[in-house]
Amino acid sequence: MRIYLQANFDIDKPPRYYQLMLQEDLLEGWTLIREWGILGSPGRIKRDHFANREQAQQAMLLVRDAQLKRGFSVVFMQGIESI
């Protein structure tokens, strides 16, 4: 699952991005990977581990909602049903 968000807060600066990805890990859990930064530059990455898919997906949606409130817009969503 993947959500890609983008925002352009200042016309003189390049747009910022925020990407959320869910991946199943080898230990029967799920990892929420967050990547953010300025478009065209390497970003920062944070990983959070969850015991099951439902918890990871809920955390992903909470982060998405927080970024939407900060002015980001969803550009791309993949593998997410009925959100």
| pLDDT digit string, tens, across residues 6-65 | 997 777 888 999 999 999 988 889 999 999 999 888 899 999 999 999 999 999 999 999
Cβ atoms of residues 80 and 9 within 8 Å: no
Q: How high is the pLDDT of residue 81?
A: 63
Q: How high is the pLDDT of residue 13?
A: 80
Q: How high is the pLDDT of residue 45?
A: 97
What's the number of domains the chain is made of? 1
Domain span at residue 31 reads: 2-78
Calculate the alpha carbon distances from 1 to 8, 10, 13, 14 in Å.
Answer: 24, 29, 29, 26
Is residue 8 assigned to a domain?
Answer: yes
CATH number at residue 66: 2.20.140.10
